[in-house]
Amino acid sequence: MQAPIAEASPPAAAPTPSAPTGAAPTLRVRAETLDRFLSSVGEVVLSSSQLRGMAQRERSASHELSAGLDRMDRVVGDLQRRALSLRTAPLLRAVEPLPRMAREIARELGKQVEVELRGAELELDRSILDRLGDPLVHLVRNGVDHGLETPELRTSAGKPATGRILIDARRERDHVRIAVVDDGRGIDLASVKRRAVEAGLLHPDLADDLPPEEIASLVFRPGLSTAREVSKISGRGVGMDAVKATIEALGGSVELASQPGLGTTTILLVPVTAAVQRMLLLGVAGEIVGLPISKVERVVEIDAAQVEDAGPERFAIVQDAPMLVIDLAERLGFGPRKQSGLAPLVLADVREERVGLLVDRLYGQQEIYVKPLPRLLAKARGLAGLTVLADGVPVFLLDLNPLG
């Protein structure tokens, strides 16, 4: 069986006197070959980092050696950036089918819609693009089905008969911000609140005190749907909770804002590449694990005696409010923490809930090259990848969603 071939432009024809010669030639490369090349580049990056660590530990390291390592770091960094660029493709690959799909859905529902694409030329890692498709499809389907009104309702509300969905992508440093905006009826916050109470996701006494943005964010909770009935357009098992889980698994985040009568905006923030990520390194039961910085709100110190059991869960008062505490060592199978006294508590977002992760110590932040898990560990719960630190210590990267 042949290996898949990475998407690329067709081979350029040989230039003729009448043909333009400004276009750069292209080359088709097998995806397997490209993956092996990127894996080798990752090994070079790790080896360079380990060599740097060895030199720093040797006090007798000469100035010439240090200067040579600096030069090698620059070359390796350039090689890494060029290698990663080989895996990128335009966002257009994921969003191009969406306008036609939206029009077909609108026609079925007796609605009218225009879809505008902006920033589709921005490039992302192909592995990220491949997983962006389903969330974007769901958001557009949701916008047409639940967001946009019929032409009659829109005109009676003083809106154009044709609804509008905007997919706007912008580069923000090492991330791409993708906003999916519709000018429909907005989210019925009262309905969301009522369904959340009925589903047991929200205590009735707290419902009236929640600000609008927190009520809107409840749509990301598993099992919550505001649709009165399952239609052939929506309700096929891929909900907003699945959208959030997919984006967070890529190292990104999801935000949602809605104004009744004016529309809804969902923002997906995804990394440009999945291969290099900034991590917070944590000490857990004598091991070092990595947590994406995008998941971390802040770190506080807490006395282990403040953590109290409440049935199967543990809680502590943090910033004058009760917070669910997860003993990371116990959740990873190392057994409960036995140390007493002060310990770091990492405040993080797990399944749309703010929780505290109890760890032994912090090792700081580091930008690392993420390698896929070995086949034997590919289905391990709570692991998203691995890397090797400068001193040769292997580090597993955590996916918090299965651990929540």
In tens, the pLDDT along 186-239 reads: 988 888 888 888 887 777 877 777 888 788 888 888 767 655 444 555 543 357
Burial bucket for residue 239 (CB in 10 Å: 0-12, 13-18, 19+): buried
Query: Where do the domains of the chain lie?
Result: 31-87, 89-187+226-271, 276-403
14: pLDDT strictly greater than 50? no
Tokens of 347: 């405040």
CATH for 276-403 is 2.40.50.180
Does 3.30.565.10 match the CATH number of domain 89-187+226-271?
yes
The reported pLDDT for the residue numbered 240 is 85
pTM: 0.67
327-337 in b/e form (b: 16+ CB < 10 A) is: bbbebbeeeeb
Tokens of 326: 């997860």
pLDDT tens per residue across span 39-52 = 777 777 777 777 77
User: Which range has highest mean pLDDT (1-5, 198-202, 358-362, 389-393)?
Assistant: 358-362
Burial bucket for residue 13 (CB in 10 Å: 0-12, 13-18, 19+): exposed
Tokens of 259: 């104004």
- The residue ranking higher by pLDDT, 166 or 245, is 166
142: pLDDT strictly greater than 60? yes
